[in-house]
Structure formats: structure tokens, C-alpha cells
Chain A
Amino acid sequence: MLFAWCMLGGLILLFSPRAVTSKFQFAFAQFFHWPLSAARNVPLAAKTEVATQETGGRKETQYQNYIANLEEELRQKNVMVEKLTGLRSRLRGLEGAKLVPADIITCSMEGMRGEVIINRGSEDGLAKGNFVIGDNSVIGTITEISPRTANIRLLTDASSNVQVNIAELGVNMLMQGGGGNTAKIKMVPMKHKIRVGDYVLVKNKPGYLEIAMIAGKVQQCKRDARNPALWDITVKPACDIDKLSNVAVIVMNPPK
């Protein structure tokens, strides 16, 4: 009988609304607030061990963060590899060449100057004269190099001179930087049919560039003011260098 009454009491509590039964629990917690909070603050000798475990946990956290950083680095490398692999598949002539990915540190394109500094240098196998590509087009060549950085002279820099072809003409021409994010091609006889929008390709250069690669497009084509028998061609780079964040340096015949 006692058991039955107790069970009944338990069942009543069980099926009572929780809002009602929880009042008992809160009343207990409020009434015994002081001993409950005091007991929670009782120090233990085992706390020392807990502190040690926390130190171990911190180490573990450091290792986990380190691993996370490595994984992120690996992911970025994979993305870079995918980009370069795609570049290789598009540019068959680069087979056998080493493409060194690099991030742009600074880019200065003021007045007649056009220069970019990248975070790769001689330690990465780069050398003076290497061509640099961005967005699948040639943007310049390396002019100065240090172990960890390299200066790139853009094709638009006033001191830049590279051999180029205009698509389908098959005539070697010299393209000079014109400043203001443009380049100039002069000394082109009027007999050649040049149209706005024609592709300008950097001529292949053994040891540096095995195939001709696009550098820009003809933006303007007019008679030379000093010599009316020649064209004065203005070339616009094929990529927007201001928006570039990374480039690739072509290293032909890299040491194995």
C-alpha cells in the first residue's frame, strides 16, 4: 500500500506540467543558494591536475591551429596548382617550363613608370630576363632580383623594349613602354594592315619564352606625326594589371 501511494505521487509529479514541477526545483535552488554556491567553490587538490590538463589542452590547441594553417596553405597551393595546370593546358608551348607562382607585393604605375615587386626571388629559381605572365598574358620581365623578391618591369614602363608581332603579320617589331598603362609600337611601315583590336604578341625568345604569347591589343593606330610613312600604334595591355594579385614567372628549362 505504501509503495502504491508513493508510486501514485511519483506519477502525479511526472505528468504534472513542467511549469509547476520546476517551481520545486527553483525553490530548492533559491533556498539553498548559499551552500550550493559555496560547495561549487570548494577547491580541490585535483585542480592542479586540471590546470596541467589545461596546459596540455592549450598545447593541443596550438597544434590544431598549426595543422589548420598547414591545411589552409595546402588548399591554397592546390588552388594554385589547378590554376597553373589550367594555364599549361591552355598554353601547350609552356610544357617543359617551370611556372613559379608569385604574389604581388607592390605595384607602381605612375607616369612613365610601371613596376611590380613580387615575393619570389633567386632562391625560387628566378633570374633576370624571365618573362612574367598575369591572366594568361605577358605583363613584363624581371629586371632586378634578390633572394626573396624580384622587380618586374612592365611592358608599359618607358624603359621597356620587347620584340613583338602583331597577329598574322609575321613582322618583328619593337614595342616600347609608353607610360600611362600603354605601350607604343613604332617603325611599322604603312604597307601593313593594322586594325584596332589586333592582338600584339611577345615574340618567342629562346631560353626565356618558347612560344609567342599575347601581351596586348592594338588600342589606336594612326600615322606617325614625324614620318607619315610609318604607323604610330598604341597598345593596351591584355590584362588589367591594377587588379592582379598574383602572377606566374616562366622559367624555361629549369634545373632538375
Chain B
Amino acid sequence: MRWPRFAVLILVVTLVQASWVDEIAVTRLNVSPDLLLIAMVFFAVRCNLTEAIISSFAIGLAADIAATGFPMGPRIISFGLFGTGLAYLHRVIAIKKMPYEALAIFVVGLAAGVLARILALLAGKSGGWGGFGVLAGTSIYSAVIGPFLFLVLGWMMQIRMKRRGRD
């Protein structure tokens, strides 16, 4: 793992997520993709376990920092928890085909979103979150474009798809 490259990449993705991504929002609910979620799933399924844990929590931190006005903490925990879980799962079930990647993004997006909302409620910091429709829409949108962004991310991080074997 090239960590400086990872840091720059996550910074760029965070900036894009915080600013430009609303331009491609769809439907009346203003559903936009979650690029950081896609990045988290990418690193969870393309890196070894330690790297996956660090990258998941780091991306969660970036997601929390970028979301000005939202409480900090829920995404670090939810991204870290599900990123780590996905990395463990990837050791058992290889997530290498595009449909599986899309499914993984969708499921992790939903689960992480629900957990983040619950954590925010538990911490008494609710407010500003969209409804379940927005969450589901974001997960679907991310799942649709995620596998294609995986190709870009893989090229940028110089991480090649291992055709055989599991970490």
C-alpha cells in the first residue's frame, strides 16, 4: 500500500464529495453517490486486512470531516466496522466481479448508513440526515457507478486485481 498516494487520493475524493458530487444528484430527493463509501469498499476488498482496517477508519474520518454540519463519529465507526467486516468476508468470499462489487457497495452503504444514524441518535446528535429513501438511493447510485470507479481507483493506486487466491 502506497500510503502517501492513498492520502492524496482520499483527500481528492473527500474534496470532490464535499463539493462537486451534488452536481450529479438525481431525483427530487437529490440523491448523489457516496464516493467515500465506494473508496472504502474498494480498499476493503483490494487490500490486506491491516490496510483495510486503517483505510476504512481513515475514510470514515474523512467522511465525517467533509460533512460539515453533521455530527462527527458515526461514520468513522460505521465505515470502520463494515470495512473491517467486509475485509474479513473477502477472505472467505472473493468479491471480484462487478455485480458482486456493486452488491457489496449497496449492502455496506445501507448498513453503514443505518448504523451511522443509530449512533448519532444514541449520542444525541441527530439532525441533518436524510430519510431512508435518500440512504437507499445513495446506496443504489453508489453501487451502480462504484464498480467502474474501482477500475479508476485500481489504476491510480496501482492495485491489480488478483485473479486467484484470497488475502
* A contacts, CB < 8 Å to B: 2-3, 6-7, 9-16, 18, 21-22, 24-26, 28-29, 32, 35-37, 39-40, 42, 44, 46
Contacts and interface: CB of A to CB of B under 8 A. Distances in A.
A32 B13 CA distance: 13
A24 B72 contact: yes
B113 interface: no
Given A14-B123, A40-B20, A46-B23, A6 B68 contact: no
A12 B84 CA distance: 19
Contacts of B18: 29, 32, 36
A176 to B, nearest CB: 69
10 contacts: A2-B50, A2-B53, A3-B80, A6-B80, A10-B60, A12-B73, A13-B64, A14-B74, A25-B67, A37-B19
A18 B15 contact: no
A7 B85 CA distance: 13
Contact of A35 (B19, B57, B61, B81): B19
A12 B18 CA distance: 24
Interface string B11-49: 000011011100110000000000000000000000000
Contacts of B23: 42, 44, 46
Contact of A7 (B67, B68, B69, B81): B81
B72 A26 contact: no
A13 B50 contact: no
Contacts of A36: 15, 18-19
* Most chain B C-beta atoms within 10 Å of own C-beta, residue among A3, A7, A9, A44: A3
Contacts of B15: 32, 35-36, 39
A3 B123 contact: no
B67 A14 contact: no
Nearest to A21: B72
A26 B84 CA distance: 29
A2 to B, nearest CB: 5
B114 interface: no
A25 B16 CA distance: 15
B77 A28 contact: no
Contacts of A9: 57, 76
A39 B16 contact: yes
Contact of A25 (B57, B69, B84, B119): B69
Contact of B72 (A6, A13, A40, A42): A13
Contacts of B57: 6, 9-10
A21 B73 contact: yes
Nearest 10 A/B pairs, CB to CB: A14-B73, A10-B76, A21-B72, A39-B19, A13-B73, A10-B77, A6-B57, A39-B20, A25-B68, A36-B19
A10 B73 contact: yes
Given A25-B66, A35-B19, A39-B16, 11 more contacts: A6-B54, A10-B60, A10-B73, A10-B77, A11-B73, A14-B77, A14-B119, A14-B123, A15-B123, A21-B73, A35-B15
B71 interface: yes
Interface string B58-96: 001100111111011110110011001000000000000
B65 A24 contact: yes
Contacts of A18: 71-72, 125
Contacts of B54: 2, 6
Contacts of B72: 13-14, 16, 18, 21-22, 24-25
